[in-house]
């Protein structure tokens, strides 16, 4: 049974990811995914160990005075209990970016997150898997370094 407390805990994890990326806190992203498998380029590519996600992002995400000047909007989350202490979520994301003098405010990417979460006590939840699926992207020249696959 999915309670409102569990839903809130899962939403907080989804939103914390967006908050940390937008703040340029890539070490915090790694801590958030500690122990998880993250498929950053879709399910057909090798998983990145969660503890390495921040380091990977730091290599391909451009920052300006320490921040990527993005806002990751996580919406339309569907959260479902799979089993006791296991939850899945499917969400949509939209990334907007504004770099004064370089790029006006615009959507640079959109797609979906497919996440799996576990809890050992039913109260504290953690990511165990994330699959990132980019459905569309705009001008990513101010967002990503060359050779990132987009």
Residue 11 lies in a domain: yes
Q: What is the pLDDT of residue 45?
A: 92
Q: What is the pLDDT of residue 83?
A: 87
Q: Edge to edge, what strands does the sheet with 103-119 contain?
A: 48-49, 37-39, 125-137, 103-119, 86-99, 70-83
Q: What is the pLDDT of residue 87?
A: 98
pLDDT tens-digit profile, the chain (150 residues): 799 999 999 999 999 999 999 999 999 999 999 999 999 988 999 999 999 999 999 999 999 999 999 999 999 999 999 888 999 999 999 999 999 999 999 999 999 999 999 999 988 999 999 999 999 999 999 999 976 555
Residue 148 lies in a domain: no
Residue 15 lies in a domain: yes
Give how many domains the chain has, as a whole number: 1
Please report, for the domain that includes residue 110, its CATH number.
Answer: 3.10.450.50
Specify the 3-state DSSP secondary structure of 41: coil
- Between CA 141 and CA 118 the distance in angstroms is 36
Residue 147 lies in a domain: no
Q: What is the pLDDT of residue 147?
A: 61
Residue 122 lies in a domain: yes
Residue 61 lies in a domain: yes
pTM for the full predicted model: 0.94
2, 80 Cβ separation under 8 angstroms: yes
Residue 18 lies in a domain: yes
- The whole domain housing 95 covers 4-137
Residue 145 lies in a domain: no
């Amino acid at each position: 049974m999915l309670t409102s407390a569990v839903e809130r805990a899962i939403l907080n994890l989804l939103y914390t990811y967006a908050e940390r990326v937008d703040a340029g806190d890539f070490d915090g992203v790694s801590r958030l995914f500690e122990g998880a498998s993250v498929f950053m380029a879709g399910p057909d590519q090798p998983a990145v160990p969660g503890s390495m996600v921040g380091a990977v992002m730091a290599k391909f995400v451009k920052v300006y005075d320490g921040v990527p000047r993005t806002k990751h909007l996580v919406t339309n989350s569907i959260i479902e209990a799979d089993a006791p202490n296991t939850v899945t979520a499917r969400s949509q994301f939209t990334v907007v970016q504004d770099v004064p003098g370089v790029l006006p405010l615009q959507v640079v990417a959109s797609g979906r997150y497919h996440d799996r979460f576990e809890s050992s006590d039913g109260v504290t939840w953690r990511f165990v898997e994330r699959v990132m699926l980019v459905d569309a992207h705009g001008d990513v020249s101010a967002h990503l370094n060359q050779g990132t696959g987009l």
